[in-house]
Structure 1
């Protein structure tokens, strides 16, 4: 009986993890560049009663084993790295990556972080920064009196100044990618940092070395599938309900045995 309760406890915890993940996905359904998360589960160690293929007699073998499972564990929560839809904002400083790659920004401690959120602005020095004020790398400065800003799909940034008909190039947005993007560590604020699992950043100009293109006036929406999330939520809720019913059934059996022992 204790074995059943212990096993079911792991199942309830797994269902709770699924619900927590779905809740986070739905909470970020409107977060720019957010990638939905998917928990991955694995079985726990089995209790072997009879090993498959063991000798049942000197001449015969067991065709199957007697192995009792001990439950489930959460192995990982991975990001679903599919492309989010691109939404036109009409803001010339907004950029969306169509394809692979991340924008690079410098943190206050000097480290480089990475993001798919291209809702950039200008600081008091005319530098391109994130909504939290982190400077985009490489540094791109735009004059306050610029009459227009044009960002090409290859990341080239050009501005037109008053009294001039010619656009002047002031920089080029660079993207970074990783051998294993799943290994990036979330920092909050739509930022990620590389780890030993992700590998070092491989940076370059958009549309080169497998990097995506940059779309001006657009932002990448989250890739959360609301309908699928609702279906998964119902499945997780049903699994949790069934788990509690198993616990209740075991509890009833224990009470029955206790009463029988006292009789």
Structure 2
């Protein structure tokens, strides 16, 4: 019976949907996390009576047909790249992007990754690094005799050193943005990688046209909305239950049919 297979595709699709929702909820407190959502498409149809076909020698046309669908599939799980809530941290090297752009991170294998997580620290050499110790590009080194560090909205890093009154410019934190930022590949560890779908990165200083600005001592939180996720979870659960009910009903119909043949 076709209904068994059709309902099973619905159950499989909603199971994946619940997995996405659970991952979103698990990362509600992950800095820079971008939620995912499932996009569905219907599967192929079997035409028992094709719409538009001729129904007589006089040329009359069938106004409507008989099409039987074969279920649903998950076609994509794009990330929603909306701005997350920016919260203060009181840490000098924490940075939040207000607007478009990603921080650039140099990985040990020589590739460049991208992140919205601005929870930065200093390594033993005074370089600005991520929580995993990856260098933030372009590399900025803080001298050991620094008294205070200021990072402006346009990414300029200034440090006041011992014995000096005027601040010294140490460099500029640059950002990268993509034409299709939803096409980035999630690597884990709050990092994204460039793909053919995302396009090549456009690099510039914060505050440039099309780029966001920086906030020092702030971090962008996840853009997961608890109320939205819970309502989506309930809807997915109900859809799963209804598909499972179709399986039970189709099984009962087959059982009744087989009983008639005995």
- 1:164 deviates by 2.1
CA RMSD across the alignment: 0.7
Task: State the SS of the aligned residue for 1:160.
Answer: strand
2:188 equivalent in structure 1:
188
> Is residue 173 of structure 1 aligned with residue 173 of structure 2?
yes
* Bigger shift: residues 219-228 or 48-57: 48-57
CA separation in 1, counterparts of 2:38 and 2:115? 22
CA separation in 2, counterparts of 1:144 and 1:232? 50
Structure 2 residue ranges without an equivalent (≥5): none
Structure 1 residue ranges without an equivalent (≥5): none
1:52 equivalent in structure 2:
51
CA separation in 1, counterparts of 2:93 and 2:49? 66
1:112 equivalent in structure 2:
112
Q: Could you state the TM-score of these two structures normalised by the residue count of structure 1?
A: 0.98
- 1:134 deviates by 0.3
Task: State the SS of the aligned residue for 2:37.
Answer: strand
How does 1:37-186 map onto structure 2 within 5 Å?
37-59=36-58, 60-186=60-186
CA separation in 2, counterparts of 1:234 and 1:129? 40
1:28 equivalent in structure 2:
27
- 1:157 deviates by 0.3
- Output one character per residue of 1:43-86: Cα deviation in whole Å (capped at 9) or x when no partner: 11111111111111122111111111100011100011110010
2:15 equivalent in structure 1:
16
CA separation in 1, counterparts of 2:57 and 2:171? 80
CA separation in 2, counterparts of 1:206 and 1:131? 22
- 1:144 deviates by 2.3
- 1:165 deviates by 2.1
Aligned residues: 261
